[in-house]
Amino acid sequence: MASWASSAVLPVAGVVLLNKAVAEATGQYLIFTDGDCVPHHQFIADHERLAERGFWVQGRRCFVEQPYVAVFESGIAGIWFWMLSGRISGAAKGVRLPIPIVLRNKKQRGIIGCNMAFWREDVVAVNGFDEAYLGRGIGPDSDLGTRVYNLGRPRKFVYGHAVVYHLNHPIMPRDNLASKRVWLEETIRTGKTRCERGLQQYLS
């Protein structure tokens, strides 16, 4: 059912590649992560269980501290040891629970592109990621989530399932942050659903 996409954390081409990946995807349900993240071994299965018509899903991430990135391996490392020894921060977001904690809302807080999933038809309806958001930093993920909100789809904000481990690295320069905040605020204010330059150009 699901298709997988990764932004690969590219500074300029990442949004374009995500739209091209959506255009090529054949699944009904799209799961997104980043190239600097390692998914829990039940990541895909969890997202498929969380999928529900009329909603999109926002999962969480914890952080593998930079000195330990080279030796981290999801599913093999003793995750509790890593957490208790301070090798992973944001540990509460890295524990997979028997039953997930799910909040349904339309909040801006916590929209992150490294762990999100949408029905493909909703992504097509809003014209995918907005390619006006070039460069690193805030923008395309929050904008997409907001336009899907505006389409009438709240999110399922999930703790305890669909976990990813972010491999920490030096902070990259952030580009055009002031302009991006203005664009995002405009999307929120106007309630728009479709961006001008997005997915449509890659659909045959």
pLDDT in tens, 71-111: 887 656 577 888 888 899 998 898 999 999 999 999 999 99
- Domain of 85, CATH number, reads 3.90.550.10
pLDDT of residue 171: 74
Q: How many separate domains does the chain show? A: 1
Does the pLDDT at position 149 exceed 80?
yes
pLDDT of residue 46: 98
Domain that holds residue 129: 2-202
| 104-111: Cβ within 8 A, 24+ apart | 104/55, 104/154, 104/155, 104/156, 104/157, 105/154, 105/155, 105/157, 106/149, 106/154, 106/155, 107/157, 108/142, 108/146, 108/188, 110/58, 110/60, 110/157, 111/58, 111/141, 111/142, 111/145, 111/146
Q: What is the pTM of this model?
A: 0.88
pLDDT in tens, 20-73: 999 999 999 999 999 899 999 999 999 999 999 999 999 999 999 999 998 887
